[in-house]
Amino acid sequence: MRKFLVFNLSLFIWCLLLSGLALCVTPSLSAQDADQSSIEGTVASASRETLVVRTDDGNFYLFVFDRYTTKPRIIATGSRVRVLSTPSEQEGTRLATNIAELQAGPATTTPSPGTQAKPLPPAVRDLEQDIKSEARRWHLGVRAGAALDPELFLFGVHSQLGPVFNRNVFFRPNAEFAFGEITDMIALNLEAIYRLPITARGRRLSAYVGAGPALNFVHQDFQRQLGEGRDIDFGNFDYETGFNILAGIQRRHTFFEVKTSLWSEPAPTLRLMIGYTF
C-alpha cells in the first residue's frame, strides 16, 4: 500500500512538471522578425561569444556569434561597425551573420575628457554575463532536497560538462548524501541531461530530461531496546546499482528536479531537489 501511494505521488508530480513545460514553449517564428536587419554603431563591448553595439540614438544591441559568422579577427571596443543579423534563439539577442568594421577604434583606451563611454544598461550587462557563463564548458553546483520511501533529507554536489555531441546535451555527474531515521545513503550518479528543443537555449526558463546509472551505498540501522540496558542493533551496508530517470525546470542558474530510481531498492523511490549551478 505504501509503495502504491508513493508511486501515485511520483506520477502526479511528474504530470505537474511535464504540464509546466508548456510555459517554456518558444514563440513561433511568425511572432518574430524573420528578416535580416542591418545595424550600424560603435562597439561598446566585445568578447569571444558576444558583441554589444551602441547606435547613434543611444540604444544598445547584443549580438551572439556562431561558426558561420563573418567577422574581423579582432573587434576593438570603440570601433565603428555594421552588423547584419537574424533573430536568435537566445532571448534578448540577435545572431550576427556579418560584421564589417567601418572605422578602427581609438589607439588609446583612455577616453578624452567629455567623451566618457556610456555604461552598459544592467539588463544588457547581465544577459551578456549569462551568455559568457553558459559558454563555459565546465560548471560546479550544489543541491539539496528530500526523498520519499524511505524518507530522507539529502544534499549534494554536481559538475556539468558540455555541451557534448549536441548543443542541448550535457553530462552532469553528481554525488548525493542522504540521512534519515534508519537509513543513510551515498549515491554516485553518472547522469546526462537533454535540454528540450521546445525551449530555446539561453531563455530564462528552460526544461530538461535526463537519465543515467546510479551507484548507491545504503546503510540501515534498526535499534530496539529489550529490557533494562539491553540493546539489539542490526546493521547492514548494501551496494546497489540502479538507473535514474529525471526531469527538471531551470531558470538561469537555479533548477528544480524530480528524480526516480529503478532497480535500486532500498534507495529512495522519489527525490525532490532544488539546486544551483555556478
196 and 269 assigned to the same domain: yes
User: Any idea which of 70-74, 117-121, 181-185, 268-272 has the lowest mean pLDDT?
Assistant: 117-121
pLDDT of residue 81: 95
pLDDT at 60: 92
Query: Domain end: 135, 167, 194, which one?
Result: 135
Tell me the pLDDT band of 83, cut-offs 50, 70 and 90.
Answer: very high
pLDDT of residue 223: 59
Q: Which residues, including other chains, have CB under 8 Å from residue 34's CB and lie 6 or more apart?
A: 86, 87
Structurally, the chain folds into a number of domains equal to 2
**CA 246 to CA 187: how far, in whole Å?**
15
Residues 231 and 187 in one domain: yes
Please give the DSSP secondary-structure letter assigned to residue 278: -
Residue 12 has pLDDT above 50, yes or no: yes
pTM above 0.85, yes or no: no
Mean pLDDT of the chain: 80
Judged against a pLDDT cut of 60, whether residue 167 lies above it is answered with yes
211 and 247 in a single domain? The answer is: yes
**One domain, residues 154 and 249:** yes
Of 105, 135, 165, the residue at which a domain comes to its end is 135
pLDDT exceeds 50 at position 171? yes
Q: Is residue 125 part of a domain?
A: yes
Is the confidence at residue 146, as pLDDT, over 90?
Answer: yes
Backbone angles phi, psi at 96, to 5 degrees: -75, 125
> 208 in a domain, yes or no?
yes
- Residue 36 confidence (pLDDT): 78
Among 168, 199, 204, 249, CA closest to 26: 199
Question: What is the average per-residue pLDDT within 182-191?
Answer: 92
**CATH number, domain at 154?**
2.40.160.20
User: Please, which pLDDT band fits residue 111 given cuts at 50, 70 and 90?
Assistant: very low
Residue 31 located in a structural domain: no
Which of 33, 25, 53 lies closest to 41, judged by CA? 53
For the chain, the 3-state helix, strand and coil shares in percent, each to the nearest 5, are 15, 50, 35
Q: Say if residue 211's pLDDT is above 90.
A: yes
Residue 35 has pLDDT above 70, yes or no: no
Binned at pLDDT 50, 70 and 90, residue 31 comes out as: very low
Domain boundary among 78, 106, 135: 135
Domain that holds residue 259: 138-277
